[in-house]
Structure 1
Amino acid sequence: MFIFSWLNDQLLRMEWLHYLVTLLVRDVFGLDVNKQVGGSIHFFIYDVSKIFILLSVLIFTISYIQSFFSPERTRKALGNFAGIKANTMGALFGTVTPFCSCSSIPLFIGFTNAGLPIGITFSFLISSPLVDLASVILIASIFNWKIAIAYVLVGIFLAVIGGSIINNLKLEKYVEPFVYENKLIDADPEELTARDRIVFAREQVRDIVRKVWLFILIGVGIGAAIHNWIPESIISALLGQDKWYSVLLATLVGVPMYADIFGTLPIAEALVAKGVGLGTALSLMMAVTALSVPSLILLNQVVKVKLLAIFVGLVTLGIIIIGYTFNAFGHLLM
């Protein structure tokens, strides 16, 4: 138990990095980390460094593993299940395949064209950007493993329920006809050497970091401002746990935002530190991640407005319910 705790503190929370940044800010910059300016600079450097280190290592590892599982192989595996089991497998595949919400849309087209029920593809579409392994590790590094595991469970639950409802509503007619007309090449995945997989993983790190670096900097900057400059009284007045509308407000604010989970995590961290309910912070994070504007624009090209509205409505309602549940019982996880 001691070894696990030490590894968690040093590898995930990176207490060694926190100490080094403290020395940098205090001894090199000559600032007090307990004051607003010094505290903000410390928060920014520490969180940015930690997120980029963890993100690079995790994306490299996950991408190397992912190189063994092509989208076509995933489609074939999902085709072996039906009913609630199929939706569960779709959600689980979304969890272990780290596609962002935008890159999941082509897979949605491929899965639907291949004959999979749209409920399965929507379960995949919800879980893929919401509960990838990298985000889970980062949540554990910022909060703790209990919260990270609970986040995974509720994310998968939302994906399974959302996909199951869409499947039972028989909404196939609201998918654009061209989706069913595309033909897939049924070929075995290309055999890759170990060197090929390393190159692929390295390119994935580069590509993903290029896509998210700005959002990470913006998110950490906002988090530093919330943590050190905005009085707790103001945050509590808007999003305090005693405000019944806090989850609703956080979800509605998050839906139209264009950001990445890696950029919203520091904001959630700062909000919780200011006394905002865990469920409220997670609602904001989930809304931003699962319902980003670019992914909805792309999805609108392949499904009709009614199906898109049902999808958005179901996910939004699920996030709100999850938020209130975490606010009610989140203290058990802290």
Structure 2
Amino acid sequence: MQSGVLPMIWTFLQDQVLGMKWLNSAIGSLLSALGLDITSRLGGSLQFFLYDVIKITILLCALIFLISYIQSYFPPERSKKIIGRFHGLGANCIAALLGTVTPFCSCSSIPLFMGFTSAGLPLGVTFSFLISSPMVDLGSLILLASIFGAKVAVTYVIVGLVIAVAGGSLIEALHMERHVEDFILNAGNVDIQAPTLTRRDRLTYAKEQMVGTFQKVFPYILVGVGIGAIIHNWIPEAWVETVLGSSNPFGVVLAVLVGVPMYADIFGTIPVAEALLSKGAQLGTILSFMMAVTTLSLPSMIMLRKAIKPRLLALFVAICTIGIILVGYFFNVIQFLFV
């Protein structure tokens, strides 16, 4: 009896709490009551758009508030001290894990990376942080679970952390410190004592982060959901299967190449991924696209170039690209375990 109750509870949490299927049904009923045929392309697109925008907005605000509250316990000074207590592979692992409670996009994590590097932390360790921060934050875990299920979300985070640790370790082994710009290396290490925050301070900080981040990413949510609605209701399934399905062995590579020039975050890419999956695209191909967009966006690379020299930047891009492609093919092979 008990063994049957737990799966039912988990399914309820998955479908109704994270997935908010009740919201989709409510929007469908409302549109139908207004005389719109939700089985038509236009009606289906509008239902998809409203449902995903509202769902992602609710999850976004709740997650940013919660994660920002947690993040208030890990200011840069404290994070630096935590990482500094570890050495070797352990330091890379801690840096990658700390990256999961930091900002949601690579442009936000690059200034922290620069600060850690200036403070004298090993270069490979700071790169483990830089890779993991936009790729596997806690927000991505919850949002991925709401769309693809908990098994996919947890596996995604694990392989993302593996890429971060492996990439940082490789950069450390190659001794690339001379390829960091001089102004970063010569900035020196200035310890500033972080003020003690009260619970009220932390709640205020979390609220400010929630509002600021929401204002910044909401346009990308609208664009992402709009693209997802078009794919979901207007692009023939055969087209998506041909380009990103199992019949195309280069689908993963294509998805990465398409994702790199874009600039978005996990919140803007998930609606596109959801629509592609429903049209027959392979799971690994979709996840590779998401990783490429969030980790290797062109604006982020331009910003990172100010801190590191071309050879190190090229190595960083190569490590991330190869890792993301391998992850894509890995998920495609084991997709039958999740779908």
Using the size of structure 2 for normalisation, the TM-score is 0.96
Aligned to 1:71: 76
1:208-262 CA-partner distances (Å, limit 9, x unpaired): 1111111111111111111111111111222221101100100011111111221
In structure 2, the partner of 1:23 is: 29
User: 1:258 & 1:3 partners in 2: Cα distance?
Assistant: 37
Residue 273 of structure 1 corresponds to 278
SS at match of 1:102: helix
**1:233 matches 2:220:** no
Q: Give, in whole Å, the separation in 1 of the partners of 2:67 and 2:264.
A: 21
Percent identical residues: 56
* Other-structure match for 2:226: 221
- The answer to whether the aligner puts 1:326 opposite 2:300 as a matched pair is no
The answer to whether the Cα contact below 8 Å between 1:98 and 1:133 also exists between their aligned partners in 2 is no
Matches within 5 A, 1:222-301: 222-301=227-306
State how far apart, in whole Å, the 2-side matches of 1:78 and 1:193 are.
Answer: 24
- 1:5 maps to 2:11: yes
Alignment of 1:1-334 (within 5 A): 1=6, 2-28=8-34, 30-334=35-339
**1:101 partner letter:** S
Instruction: Give 1:267's aligned amino acid.
Output: V
Pick closer, same or farther for the CA change 1:99–1:33 going to 2, 3 Å: closer
| TM superposition shift of 1:309 | 0.3
Partner AA of 2:160 in structure 1: G
Aligned-residue RMSD, C-alpha:
1.1
Query: Hey, what's the Cα distance between the residues in 2 that align with 1:38 and 1:103?
Result: 37
Deviates more, 1:167-176 or 1:1-10: 1-10
What CA distance in whole angstroms lies between the structure 2 residues aligned with 1:331 and 1:251? 22
Gaps of 5+ in 2: 1-5
Structure-1 residue corresponding to 2:3: none
Q: TM-score, normalised by structure 1?
A: 0.97
Letter in 1 for 2:166: I
Is this contact kept in 2: 1:283–1:319, CA < 8 A?
Answer: yes
Q: Using the TM superposition, give the Cα deviation of residue 169 of structure 1 relative to its aligned residue in structure 2, in angstroms.
A: 0.4
Q: Letter of the 1:20 partner, please give it.
A: A
On the 8 A contact 1:136/1:152 being kept in 2, the answer is: yes
Q: How many residues align?
A: 333
Alpha-carbon distance in 2 for matches of 1:99, 1:254: 17
Structure 1 runs not aligned, ≥5 long: none
Q: Tell me how far apart the structure 1 counterparts of residues 78 and 214 of structure 2 sit (CA, whole Å).
A: 26
Partner SS, residue 103 of structure 1: helix
The structure 1 segments of at least 4 consecutive aligned residues displaced by more than 3 Å after TM superposition are none
